[in-house]
Structure 1
């Protein structure tokens, strides 16, 4: 059996470098990356990666030494990832737009000894590490030297359970945590990508996901195993997506956060169904968006659930049950736990927890954060911190973060549930709900909304609509209009950046319910 096909099943006994070497041996001329007008082969990527690895070894950088990249997407960034892996160094991919305290925090946790950075990121790096402890090599994600020579170097032996990268979480409600991701976990995440997308030889993926996110790294590894071609773009572009999809014959499309909503906002076109895409897979698709997207573009939605800490993919919806994230991948089991740690009743809400019969598929922990690690991994079970419920068929329904839930009038409320209900309002483009201290009891609900073009912000009208369509304890009391939401690289709303000052919000509670 092809060793790369074996890598698609647990226990995932291989590494990124071994996969790249096998591909170079068997099919060096296969095109793996399309970047602009360039077609880049496996052999070219492998040659450049070995040159990078040799250079790192020549600099005295070896196993476990942290090396950062602060670059956009592109074939050079992909080769750097592979080269850092081959040298056994610890890859620290950082958002090239990172600035200030969040960047200083990540650098303080990871303490890289070397950084490959775009010119625009050099000054923020130096400001965040004023002690000058990091050497910076200026490059970009796209520069790719097809004439790179590997040079002489003895590369280390790499093992599947070696920690290969530190992926920093989005940090929507606090400082980002550095998730330790092993070689085995990267290969498992690639297998999950292939399963979710029904990947087969010759498939073409639009690679818009940033390489500083697990979504970018896993699709690159998947292309090595499953002979897919990746069409790399520097960033997601709603206006450029469909022309690129048609020109390059893209067959599989990945989505996160609000990307499907963004595509639906464009005016309908006669050629909306004229494309080669067979499946759109990802996370964060609400039921009403699900139905609208499938109806308009004739692309089946395949919703998934997972987190970087558990090799990215935990459940995949292969049945088409709208609203569900599906059932567990073959190497995991999912259960819901109550506040006391015990199992919840069928159909009830609980914390999503994950177990596995295969060692090494959970993160070894958060880098230099033992307390957070202890809260994540308990008694062989990974506690996700997410709220969900299971139906009679074992389908998982994601209900939001436990930290993004609130308690009102004795009722537990998921912000996700309220936001999903508000998405049905014809004038609301998007909403974000948070809990604020109530005058009496636990929480009141503060809702931030962006209005559709041409629609006026009418908080009293929004509250009246909510009272007619939502459970009483789900109806927001306070409302604020915002022009747009600040987002993480995976397109999640940064709720920690929302202005919760109630002096600038509209209170729509009936006067009789207000404390004098």
Structure 2
């Protein structure tokens, strides 16, 4: 389904949809109550337009001006989207922050992005108050936080902020102006803030290469709106006029029940979520669901057909990045299982070695992209000119991922630069090991990674499998014996790390450094 227009901002987009069908439900937010029932909050296009405008007027009264930044920190609530609309109406910049962020990292993000204020939930307000002094001038909070007065000089509840209605003065926003600053995960240090313009955000909704949506589709996401993936689902739904169902937070146990109850037909699945979902014991009615398409990122070849068979779906693999410098797509039946795909028309992808030479087929190297029309790909990290400069070279966008291309132009992922696991001279395909372990039925979640120890030769690592047992009677010996029958000797983990849960980012990506810290704490590296 194609977009009906090319609006300049997300606020213009919602206004256009509201003019066509104001009462149509655009967003359904789902929260799981303690008794397992589902509580919903609905927003029509008219609701979004009205509340976004009212919030914008109030924020303008608090001093928010064009170009000013404010933090947006909460789990998935309707107010998150309304705050996005308010920012667009004012020409302000919103800064999504993982609602679990606390302490020094939170302080860094607020300061680095130069946030003037914050729109947040009560629990996040408490985390901000715990920082002590901040440069925030105002705060708008959901509910009634106990520490509201400590956040900023001007603090008020969200309901009070929008109760008088109204809208701000009209501001014409150009495509080049900054819409938001989205922080990277910061797995190797302080996160970088990617500058995303209105034009870049809106253009991605028109670039769904390899994905066909119909008038009856219902989109779903359980990922946080502070992550670019969930933002993509939101953007595509609003652009195409398709309803979007959004969970307060991801739950593998409630994924399929929610899709059944709300008629969801399409959802996204990221690498860390894939083994979690598959680990749920198979049931005869697994395929009894309305989902027709899963858009995945990191689907292992060994699980690709299993997902399609078990759940009665098709898989479309898509590779991309927060920076938006390139993309690959592998629709179901188009390319080899496990391939990231091929680039869309107008974009060239190639593999380069460490000396900047293009690699022949089957030789791994860094994946890079460039536009075929010669226009340079530009990446901007807020207040980090050197990182912005380093992200491109000779017109090519550098992904930082090691990939190889086969003889037919299909690309395959190996590892993130700096994160590969080299063992006995070869790099281990950790996704393959994870797929094998999850099929054992002995674990409900798994993350395979490498850690350097004094026993390793230079450049090599010890292979670790962090696992969450499926039940209390977990037998580690049985898992080791299973590995011996299903994996090549070089792929068998040397350390089995048993955890209650695997630490993950807001996008369900395992946090390697946290797992390594636990290894040291538990004495597994001694």
Which band: TM-score by shorter chain?
Answer: 0.7 to 0.9
Residue 433 of structure 2 contacts residue 487 of structure 2 at CA under 8 Å; is this kept in 1? Answer: no
Task: Name the counterpart of 1:305.
Answer: 319
User: Can you give the 5+ residue segments of structure 1 that lack an aligned partner in the other structure?
Assistant: 8-12, 508-516
Q: Is the 8 A contact 1:334 1:353 kept in 2?
A: yes
Q: CA deviation at 1:478?
A: 4.5
- Residue in 1 aligned with 2:201? 186
Is 1:263 paired with 2:266? no
Answer whether contact 1:260 1:293 (CA < 8 A) is retained. Answer: no
CA contact (8 A) 2:326 2:369 kept: no
Q: 1:494 offset after TM fit, Å?
A: 0.2
RMSD: 3.2
Corresponding residue for residue 64 of structure 2:
61
Q: Which residue of 1 aligns with 2:513?
A: 496
Deviations 1:16-45 (A, max 9, x none): 222222222222232211234444221221
1:492: how far off? 0.9
Residue of 155, 158, 179 corresponding to 1:164: 179
Which of 350, 364, 376 is the equivalent residue of 1:349?
364
Count of equivalent residues:
498
Q: Contact (CA 8 Å) 1:336, 1:353: kept in 2 or not?
A: yes
C-alpha contact (below 8 Å) 2:462/2:494 kept by paired residues = yes
1:101 aligns with 2:116: no
TM-score (norm 2): 0.85
Choose from 211, 221, 234 the match for 2:235: 221
Residue 143 (structure 1) shift: 7.3
2:498 corresponds to which of 459, 475, 481: 481
Contact 2:307 2:313 in 1 (8 A): yes
TM-fit CA distance, 1:414: 5.6
Residues 87 and 156 of structure 1 are in contact (CA less than 8 Å); yes or no, is this contact kept in structure 2?
yes
Deviations 1:474-509 (A, max 9, x none): 5544443333210011111100112353982279xx
Gaps of 5+ in 2: 30-38, 145-156
Cα gap change, 1:99 to 1:358, in 2 (>3 Å): farther
**C-alpha displacement at 1:261, in angstroms?**
2.5
Are the structure 2 counterparts of residues 248 and 289 from structure 1 closer, same or farther at C-alpha, using a change threshold of 3 Å? same
Counterpart in the other structure of 1:30? 24
Structure 2 counterpart of 1:514: none
2:258 to 244, 251, 265: 244
Distance 1:131 1:502, change over 3 A: closer
Alpha-carbon contact 1:256-1:282 (below 8 Å) kept:
yes
Q: Does the residue aligned with 2:206 lie in a helix, a strand or coil?
A: helix
Q: Which residue does 1:403 correspond to in 2?
A: 418
Matches within 5 A, 1:89-128: 89-128=92-131
Superposed CA offset, 1:314-348 (max 9, x none): 43435153111211123432111111111111111
- Name the CA distance, whole Å, in 2 between partners of 1:217 and 1:400: 25
Query: CA deviation digits over 1:148-190, x for unaligned, max 9?
Result: 6652532322111211111111223332211111112212332
Q: Which residue pairs with 2:341 in the alignment?
A: 326
The worse-fitting range, judged by mean Cα deviation, of 474-483 and 331-340 is 474-483
CA distance in 2 between counterparts of 1:497 and 1:270 reads 37
Deviation at 1:78, TM superposition (A): 1.1
TM-score (norm 1): 0.87
Q: Could you tell me how far apart the structure 1 residues matched to 2:461 and 2:274 are? A: 30
> For 1:423-434, what aligned pairs fall within 5 Å after superposition?
427=442, 429-434=445-450
- Decide whether aligned partners of structure 1 residues 331 and 136 sit closer, same or farther in structure 2, where only a CA change above 3 A counts: farther
- Write the distance in 2 (CA, Å) between the matches of 1:392 and 1:342: 18
From the superposition, tell whether residues 200 and 128 of structure 1 become closer, same or farther in structure 2 (CA, over 3 Å): farther
Shift of 1:418: 5.3
Distance in 2, matches of 1:145 and 1:448, equals 50
| Paired position in structure 2 for 1:447 | 464
Mapped partners of 1:147, 1:92: distance in 2: 20
